Amino acid sequence: MVKSIANEDTPALPRQDRSWALFLDLDGTLVELVDHPDHIVVDDALKTRLQTLTTLLDGAVAVISGRAIDDLDRHLTLPTLAMSGQHGAEWRDSQGERHIAEHHQKALEAVRQRVNEQVRRDEALYLEDKGASLALHYRHHPEAGDILKSELSALIEEYPDALELHQGKLVFEIKGCGYDKGTALERFLTVPPFSQRCPVFIGDDRTDEDGFRTVNAHQGMAIKVGTGDTIAGSRLKNPDAVHEWLDQWIDRLQHS
Ligand SMILES: [Mg+2]
């Protein structure tokens, strides 16, 4: 059930008597949202924080993002970090091996051309072609949301078994059916070093709710960043608060 929770629900640090796996969204969670996805700022402190946590949690740390892994690597420059990109359609395991989902690629190819035509007609739109999914950003044309939603829904309706439309913060994504941040987390939790560990997932957007559902099913810690309804059990205010909370956890892990 969706509930509104207050800021005083700031999460306690994970209990010391359990083993944890940490999953993190990037945009709006570890870095502030900016006007263009290429303009996010990943500073050295964030990279060090992720590396330290990966060491302290025996490798059980993964970034779970809507971005493509190539894009995540460009910004994070942590090529051995486990991650899932494109809402679960691709992933890199803790051994560094890359995997990609294929079943929806043909349908995606068929709609790619038509989405491109749409973007050419409205220069306020920005299409991010991630390979296994398409993200249409309309943050410079926010009033176009309703019409875009119906146009994109019509575009994919001939492929109900292959494609689905997701709405994020001023972005629509056309992606393969059957993958989301919840399935991405679940997949990691079946293999070492994540298996047998209790998940923590921190995310800010509507698509992160799928991840929270998986975490809740495993009795883990689901942490929502910012405002808005959520099924997460606790909340942090913004990326700065996330960094602070992670640093406190690092401190506790280092002194246990
Ligand atoms: Mg996000």
Interatomic CA distance for residues 229 and 227, integer angstroms: 7
CA 64 to ligand 1 center in whole angstroms: 9
| Helix, strand, or coil (residue 121) | helix
pLDDT of residue 7: 45
CA 56 to ligand 1 center in whole angstroms: 24
pTM, two decimals, is: 0.85
pLDDT band for position 154 (cuts 50, 70, 90): very high
- Residue type (1 letter), 253: L
Q: Is the pLDDT of residue 46 over 60?
A: yes
Catalytic residue among 9, 17, 25, 27: 25
Q: Is the pLDDT of residue 1 over 70?
A: no
Asked whether the beta carbons of 245 and 230 are under 8 A apart, the reply is no
Which residues are CB-neighbours of 25 under 8 A, at least 6 positions away? 63, 64, 65, 181, 201, 202, 203, 204, 205, 208, 211, 225
Token pair of 33, please?
Answer: 């949202």
DSSP string covering 158-210, please?
A: T-TTTEEEEEETTEEEEEETT--HHHHHHHHHTSTTTTTSEEEEEE-STTHHH
CA 85 to ligand 1 center in whole angstroms: 12
pLDDT band for position 4 (cuts 50, 70, 90): very low
Token pair of 234, please?
Answer: 């606790």
In this predicted model, what pLDDT tens digit does every residue of 87-122 receive, in sequence order? 899 999 999 999 998 889 999 999 999 999 988 988
Closest CA to 183 of 152, 159, 160, 217: 217
CA 15 to ligand 1 center in whole angstroms: 26
In this predicted model, what pLDDT tens digit does every residue of 175-187 receive, in sequence order? 999 999 999 999 9
CA 26 to ligand 1 center in whole angstroms: 6
User: Which neighbouring-strand residues pair with 129?
Assistant: 134
Token pair of 218, please?
Answer: 């495993």
Domain boundaries of the chain, sorted by first residue: 20-101+179-254, 105-176
Catalytic residue flag (residue 70): no
CA 27 to ligand 1 center in whole angstroms: 4
pLDDT of residue 9: 65
Mean pLDDT of 9-16: 89
CATH architecture of 20-101+179-254: 3-Layer(aba) Sandwich (3.40)
On average, the pLDDT of the chain sits at 93
CA 67 to ligand 1 center in whole angstroms: 10
| Helix, strand, or coil (residue 151) | helix
Please provide the CATH number assigned to the domain covering 105-176.
3.30.70.1020
In this predicted model, what pLDDT tens digit does every residue of 197-232 receive, in sequence order? 999 999 999 999 999 999 999 999 999 999 999 999
Chain centroid offset of residue 240 CA: 18
In this predicted model, what pLDDT tens digit does every residue of 13-24 receive, in sequence order? 999 999 999 999
Q: Which residue has the tokens 């994919």?
A: 156
CA 103 to ligand 1 center in whole angstroms: 25
- Topology alike, domains 20-101+179-254 and 105-176: no
pLDDT band for position 256 (cuts 50, 70, 90): confident
